[in-house]
């Protein structure tokens, strides 16, 4: 299984069910696509993420009805600094898709998915706790793993691994 | 969907209700789960889990290690199924590298994985039954679990933190007599499952404590991100081993047990049936075990044999380089999910082209499953909370990471 170079051309990938549905809805919402190592990644415009997820969930032909995971990657010092990553699974069609939203480091704010999938609750709290991303519309955005009074966001790249803070 | 979103703060406004603190040191919380209960007499008005007591920052630690040094860390996430974690991480990195794994290694991985599943389910069954008051089952389960731990010790030298799978294959060839031992265990085990079922399935007390208790519908379980037996107990037909096969699971035949009611009893039946299916897979793996190497042919990634190191210059150089500098992984990102005993365990690994992972994220099945607890318990009796916690099979190490 040798590695093949990733495909990033929208035209070449537009037959993918998730991408096709999103493009049909709004071409402006899709900023970038990548098909690499058999995994599909779609970069979504920040304001569109909640609607895009609701759209993919409710698509009757190809429902991505299960939210597997939400996480984040810190690309400091480059900008936009944060990537919030959503892994969706289609249980009837056995297919995965990865959605990505890029956020700048100064004000990492994004809309919460709890109204689409209530299960986003803990995942978003964890991302808030460890990266300091704020999710608007989340019912209870408090630290999940770290103590309530903890200062700083441990999984950010500028957070020291050892020594006194 | 609104009924699934938690009401933020426990607020006993009227004098009717009171707040009860359960845990973190409580025998039925399987580690250190703290649960805040707002109760009105005997019934639970609201329930709020409080987690994080076991948070060790493993994801951050991974970023400071070489790829191969992360393997022992993955053991410590879910200490009841270390090999499932090993497998998931190894598969993710192998996908990043584009490595092909020889068939014997894949079959051994399946064999060890199913033994791990049995091991994990036995601990769950024993402790879950003990929580509800059936003490004997615990002793029976740990008797068989001991056999499995001995087998793990045989292949890896460790009973629990095995780290037996490596990136590119398997650490060592199993020792002489290992397969006979597994075969012996596989022939004995189904009758042991009958013993557990004799104690529980038809037992009227067990039925009263579990049937119709902590029910959750398929829609709610899906919306809350539940997976594994917690989801299948409600009748959702998904098993990643069958539906999105990895590591050669497409070569094995097994049934995926489903529940109907979504109560504690159905989740119990699902897991007990899984015990039988798993031992079937072990049997198939033993019968069809192919011959051949147990490591991929990738000298820059896989450590050479000790023998070769003593006779071949190249092997010694590769060994030195892998140990001191690690191996670089082409830039990219991969999400690999496997069916752990508790549900969908996923590893999201991001590489920036160096020898250390840029980011390793573990998708914890238990974390998502724990979110179903309020839906299961609110409006029900306080005594059923313990049954509900047991039935979602939580491991706090995996939740807190």
What CATH number corresponds to the domain at position B155? 1.10.645.10
Element (H, E) at B301: none
Beta carbons of A3 and B100 less than 8 Å apart = no
Q: Which residues of chain A are within 8 Å of residue B346 when distances are taken between CB atoms?
A: 68-69, 87
As averages over each run of 10 residues, the pLDDT of chain B (401 residues) reads 58 72 75 84 86 88 90 88 91 90 91 92 90 87 91 89 88 89 92 90 88 89 90 90 89 90 90 92 90 86 86 90 89 91 91 90 90 88 88 86 82
* DSSP string covering A98-131: EEEEEE-SS--EEE--TTT-TTHHHHHHHHHHHH
Beta carbons of A1 and B99 less than 8 Å apart = yes
- Cα–Cα distance measured from residue B131 to residue B129, given in angstroms and rounded to the nearest whole number: 5
Average pLDDT of the residues of chain A: 87
- pLDDT at position B91: 92
Same domain, B217 and B185: yes
Q: What's the length of chain A?
A: 165
- pLDDT at position B3: 62
**How many folded domains does chain B comprise?**
2
pLDDT exceeds cutoff 60 at A165: no
Please list the residues that pair with B19 across neighbouring strands: B38
Closest-CA distance, B382 to chain A, in angstroms, reads: 24
Element (H, E) at A87: strand A82-90
- pLDDT at position B98: 87
On whether the CB atoms of residues B238 and B231 are closer than 8 A, the answer is yes
Beta carbons of A123 and B368 less than 8 Å apart = yes
Output DSSP code: residue B292. S
**Strand A95-103 vs strand A39-44: parallel, antiparallel, or unpaired?**
parallel
- Cα–Cα distance measured from residue B125 to residue B85, given in angstroms and rounded to the nearest whole number: 21
Same domain, B22 and B82: no
Q: Report helix, strand or coil for B59.
A: helix
On whether the CB atoms of residues B229 and B262 are closer than 8 A, the answer is no
Closest-CA distance, A24 to chain B, in angstroms, reads: 25
- pLDDT at position A3: 78
Same domain, B362 and B282: yes
**Residue in B285, B246, B66, B63 with CA at minimum distance from that of residue B166:** B66
Supply φ then ψ for residue A111, to 5 degrees.
-75, 140
**Tokens at residue B399, please?**
């939740």
- Cα–Cα distance measured from residue B174 to residue B165, given in angstroms and rounded to the nearest whole number: 12
- pLDDT at position A5: 82
Q: Which residues of chain B are within 8 Å of residue A71 when distances are taken between CB atoms?
A: 348, 361, 363
Same domain, B166 and B212: yes
- Cα–Cα distance measured from residue B219 to residue B212, given in angstroms and rounded to the nearest whole number: 17
Mutate which of A37, A75, A97, A135 to test chain B, going by most B C-beta atoms within 10 A?
A: A37
- pLDDT at position B10: 57
CATH number for the domain whose boundaries are A10-136: 3.30.460.80
Supply φ then ψ for residue B120, to 5 degrees.
-65, -45
* % of chain A residues with pLDDT over 70: 97
Q: Is residue B55 part of a domain?
A: no
Q: Is residue B86 part of a domain?
A: yes
On whether the CB atoms of residues B257 and B273 are closer than 8 A, the answer is yes
Put simply, whether A145 touches B (Cβ < 8 Å) is: yes
Residue B291 contacts by C-beta under 8 Å, 6 or more apart in sequence?
B104
Q: How many contacts, defined by CB atoms under 8 Å, are there between A and B?
A: 112
Same domain, B247 and B378: yes
Beta carbons of B60 and A121 less than 8 Å apart = no
- Cα–Cα distance measured from residue B224 to residue A67, given in angstroms and rounded to the nearest whole number: 9
Mutate which of A68, A99, A114, A148 to test chain B, going by most B C-beta atoms within 10 A?
A: A68
CB-closest option in B59, B95, B348 to A37: B95
- pLDDT at position B281: 92
pLDDT exceeds cutoff 60 at A83: yes
Mutate which of B230, B238, B368, B369 to test chain A, going by most A C-beta atoms within 10 A?
A: B368
Half-sphere exposure of B191 (CA within 13 A, CB side): 4
**Residue in A145, A53, A140, A47 with CA at minimum distance from that of residue B223:** A53
Same domain, B328 and B231: yes
Q: Which residues of chain A are within 8 Å of residue B51 when distances are taken between CB atoms?
A: 144-145
Ordered by start, the domain boundaries in chain A are 10-136
Q: Which residues of chain B are within 8 Å of residue A155 when distances are taken between CB atoms?
A: 59-60
Closest-CA distance, A25 to chain B, in angstroms, reads: 24
Q: Is residue B336 part of a domain?
A: yes
Q: Which residues of chain B are within 8 Å of residue A68 when distances are taken between CB atoms?
A: 225, 335, 337, 344, 346, 363
Q: Report helix, strand or coil for A138.
A: coil
| Residue written as token pair 């060994």 | B319
Same domain, B17 and B88: no
CB-closest option in A66, A94, A114 to B5: A114
Q: Is this complex scored with an ipTM above 0.95?
A: no
Please list the residues that pair with B339 across neighbouring strands: B344
- pLDDT at position A164: 66
Residue of A nearest to B400 (CA): A145
Same domain, B44 and B69: no
Closest-CA distance, A26 to chain B, in angstroms, reads: 25
Beta carbons of A69 and B6 less than 8 Å apart = no
The boundaries of the domain holding residue B33 are 2-50
CB-closest option in B60, B238, B368 to A155: B60
Beta carbons of A37 and B334 less than 8 Å apart = yes
First vs last C-alpha separation in chain B: 29
A16-41: average pLDDT: 84
Q: What angle do CA B115, B56, B163 make, to 5 degrees?
A: 30
- pLDDT at position B2: 55
A118-143: average pLDDT: 90
- pLDDT at position B15: 67
CB-closest option in B1, B8, B332 to A140: B8
Please list the residues that pair with A32 across neighbouring strands: A43
Q: Which residues of chain A are within 8 Å of residue B225 when distances are taken between CB atoms?
A: 66-68, 117, 119-120, 123
- pLDDT at position B14: 62
- pLDDT at position B357: 92
Same domain, B103 and B225: yes
- Cα–Cα distance measured from residue B225 to residue B337, given in angstroms and rounded to the nearest whole number: 14
Q: Is residue B108 part of a domain?
A: yes
Closest-CA distance, B288 to chain A, in angstroms, reads: 24
Put simply, whether A67 touches B (Cβ < 8 Å) is: yes
**Residue in B10, B47, B23 with CA at minimum distance from that of residue B382:** B47
Q: Which residues of chain B are within 8 Å of residue A121 when distances are taken between CB atoms?
A: 5-6, 371
């Amino acid at each position: 299984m040798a590695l093949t170079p990733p495909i990033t051309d929208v035209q070449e990938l537009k037959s993918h069910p998730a991408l096709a549905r999103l493009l049909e809805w709004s071409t402006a919402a899709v900023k970038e696509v990548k098909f690499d190592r058999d995994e599909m990644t779609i970069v979504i415009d920040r304001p569109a993420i909640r609607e895009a997820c609701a759209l993919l969930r409710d698509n009757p032909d190809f429902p991505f009805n299960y939210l597997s995971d939400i996480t984040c990657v810190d690309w400091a010092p480059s900008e936009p600094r944060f990537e919030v990553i959503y892994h969706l699974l289609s249980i009837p069609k056995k297919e995965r898709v990865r959605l990505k939203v890029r956020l700048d480091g100064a004000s990492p704010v994004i809309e919460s998915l709890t109204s689409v999938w209530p299960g986003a609750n803990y995942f978003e709290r964890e991302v808030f706790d460890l990266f300091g991303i704020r999710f608007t519309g989340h019912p209870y955005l408090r630290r999940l793993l770290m103590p309530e009074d903890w200062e700083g966001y441990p999984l950010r790249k500028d957070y020291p691994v050892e020594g006194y803070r | 969907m609104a009924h699934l979103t938690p009401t933020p703060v426990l607020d006993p406004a009227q004098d009717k209700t009171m707040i009860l603190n359960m845990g973190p040191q409580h025998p039925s919380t399987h580690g250190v789960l703290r649960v805040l209960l707002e109760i009105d007499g005997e019934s639970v008005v609201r329930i709020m889990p409080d987690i994080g007591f076991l948070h060790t920052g493993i994801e951050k630690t991974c970023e400071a290690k070489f790829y191969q040094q992360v393997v022992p860390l993955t053991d410590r996430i879910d200490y009841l199924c270390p090999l499932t974690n090993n497998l998931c991480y190894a598969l993710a990195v192998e996908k990043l590298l584009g490595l092909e794994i020889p068939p014997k290694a894949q079959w051994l991985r399946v064999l060890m994985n199913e033994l791990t599943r049995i091991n994990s389910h036995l601990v769950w069954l024993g402790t879950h039954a003990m929580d509800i008051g059936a003490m004997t089952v615990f002793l029976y389960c740990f008797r068989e679990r001991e056999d499995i731990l001995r087998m793990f010790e045989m292949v890896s030298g460790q009973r629990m933190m095995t780290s037996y799978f490596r990136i590119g294959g398997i650490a060592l060839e199993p020792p002489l007599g290992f397969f006979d031992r597994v075969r012996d265990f596989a022939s004995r085990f189904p009758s042991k499952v009958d013993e557990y079922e004799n104690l529980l399935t038809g037992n009227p007390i067990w039925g009263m404590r579990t049937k119709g208790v902590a029910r959750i519908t398929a829609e709610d379980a899906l919306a809350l991100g539940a997976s594994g037996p917690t989801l299948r107990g409600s009748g959702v037909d998904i098993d990643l081993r069958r539906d999105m096969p990895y590591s050669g699971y497409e070569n094995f035949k097994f049934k995926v047990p489903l529940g109907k009611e979504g109560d504690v009893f159905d989740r119990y039946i699902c897991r007990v049936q899984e015990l039988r299916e798993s031992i079937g897979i072990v049997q198939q793996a033993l019968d069809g075990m192919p011959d051949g190497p147990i490591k991929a042919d990738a000298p820059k990634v896989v450590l050479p044999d000790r023998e070769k190191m003593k006779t071949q210059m190249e092997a010694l150089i590769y060994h030195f380089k892998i140990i001191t500098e690690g191996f670089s992984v082409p830039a990219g990102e991969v999400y690999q999910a496997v069916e752990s005993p508790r549900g969908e365990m996923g590893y999201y690994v991001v590489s920036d082209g160096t020898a250390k992972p840029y980011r390793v994220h573990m998708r914890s099945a238990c974390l998502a499953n724990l979110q179903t607890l309020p839906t299961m318990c609110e409006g029900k009796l306080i005594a059923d909370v313990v049954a509900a916690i047991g039935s979602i099979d939580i491991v706090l190490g995996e939740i807190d990471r």
